[in-house]
Structure 1
């Protein structure tokens, strides 16, 4: 999550949706924000306490956290935005990220299909310890009643175009969007990782995202 009081925006960072690049592009805008240094000090104090003093909006906090913590008039005045990603593509990205950086979480399931069946097994409790990609993306964007509380939802699939639109709405010149944490260990087409049964696993687990965000397994016309 990235908050700028000066520029009146709140970026909700859903993992693996291009958010690291968005944060990097917008970070320099915060340095001129008069609230930056007090927020930085609070962030460091939170880190030193093991995040037990609740003075920091976590990197991947949900929009509802900011709504609960910020004064109502402050939250309402912010331009709140996020980026989302096709759930089938996101799971492929998640698999390669875990295999590359936290292979111990593969739990012996070394290929994508086996890992996905284990991760999304409806007979087992959700494996939330693996990574945040098992959560619904829409949960990051709604309040406790299920109402959407962000102003703009961009798409990973058109990241640069939608980032430019977000900056226009904020009222700033769009900075160059760097390519941060760009993976090079996977193919471009996520569909080749799936068979009918694994594609259906994702369809069932992320049904709310697919319906609300308008995604399909095969995006071609």
Structure 2
């Protein structure tokens, strides 16, 4: 999550949706924001206390966290936005990300099908890096009543165009959008990773995202 009091925006960072690139682009604005320095100090103090001060919005916090913590008038006045991604594609991205950066989590689950079945098994132990990307994306966008409370939902599938649209809403010239953490190990379209059975597993788990965000396995 990235908050800018000066530019009055709140970016809700959903894992594996291009958020690292968006943060990298928007963080250049921090140096122009007089609120950045006290926010940085509070963040460091929170870190030094083991986050017992609770003065930092976590990187992948849901919008409801900001709504509960910030003054109502301030929160309501923010331009709140997030990016989402096709759930089937997101799981392929997660598989390759973990295989590159945390291969120990895939021991015994080397193939994509083994990985997916293990990841979606409700009986397995909690593991942050697995569970972050199976949380429903819509959970990041809603209030306690289940209503979407962000003002703009961009799509990973049209990242640059939607990022430019978000910047226009903020009132800034779009900064360069780097392609952070670009994957070089995907050799095929995400649909090639799935069987009918595994595609249905994702369809069932992410049913609400698929319905509310209007995604399909085969958009063609």
TM-score, scaled relative to structure 1? 0.96
Match of 1:116 in 2: 116
Once the 2 structures are TM-superposed, how far is the Cα of residue 187 of structure 1 from its aligned partner?
A: 2.6
Once the 2 structures are TM-superposed, how far is the Cα of residue 198 of structure 1 from its aligned partner?
A: 0.3
1:176 has 2:172 as partner = no
Number of residues paired by the alignment?
Answer: 219
- Alpha-carbon distance between aligned partners in 2 of 1:204 and 1:127, rounded to the nearest angstrom: 20
Once the 2 structures are TM-superposed, how far is the Cα of residue 157 of structure 1 from its aligned partner?
A: 0.3
CA deviations 1:154-195 (Å, max 9, x no partner) are: 000000000000000111111111111111111341000000
1:35 has 2:35 as partner = yes
CA deviations 1:67-116 (Å, max 9, x no partner) are: 00000000000000000000000000001111111112124110101110
Once the 2 structures are TM-superposed, how far is the Cα of residue 213 of structure 1 from its aligned partner?
A: 0.3
Match of 2:62 in 1: 62
Match of 2:202 in 1: 202
Match of 1:21 in 2: 21
Where in structure 2 are there 5+ consecutive unaligned residues? none
Match of 2:218 in 1: 218
- Alpha-carbon distance between aligned partners in 2 of 1:188 and 1:74, rounded to the nearest angstrom: 45
Instruction: Answer whether contact 1:2 1:12 (CA < 8 A) is retained.
Output: yes
CA deviations 1:131-171 (Å, max 9, x no partner) are: 41110000000011101010000000000000000000111
Match of 1:73 in 2: 73
Match of 2:137 in 1: 137
- Alpha-carbon distance between aligned partners in 2 of 1:167 and 1:193, rounded to the nearest angstrom: 34
Give the 3-state SS of the residue equivalent to 1:3 in structure 2. strand
Give the 3-state SS of the residue equivalent to 1:108 in structure 2. coil
Which stretch shows the higher mean deviation, 97-106 or 165-174? 97-106
Q: Which runs of 4+ in 1 moved over 4 A?
A: 125-128
Instruction: Answer whether contact 1:127 1:134 (CA < 8 A) is retained.
Output: no
Once the 2 structures are TM-superposed, how far is the Cα of residue 121 of structure 1 from its aligned partner?
A: 2.7
- Alpha-carbon distance between aligned partners in 2 of 1:96 and 1:48, rounded to the nearest angstrom: 33
Instruction: Answer whether contact 1:119 1:127 (CA < 8 A) is retained.
Output: no
- Alpha-carbon distance between aligned partners in 1 of 2:133 and 2:60, rounded to the nearest angstrom: 11
Match of 2:167 in 1: 167
- Alpha-carbon distance between aligned partners in 2 of 1:100 and 1:60, rounded to the nearest angstrom: 21
- Alpha-carbon distance between aligned partners in 1 of 2:36 and 2:187, rounded to the nearest angstrom: 39
Instruction: Answer whether contact 1:137 1:209 (CA < 8 A) is retained.
Output: yes
Where in structure 1 are there 5+ consecutive unaligned residues? none
Give the 3-state SS of the residue equivalent to 2:7 in structure 1. coil
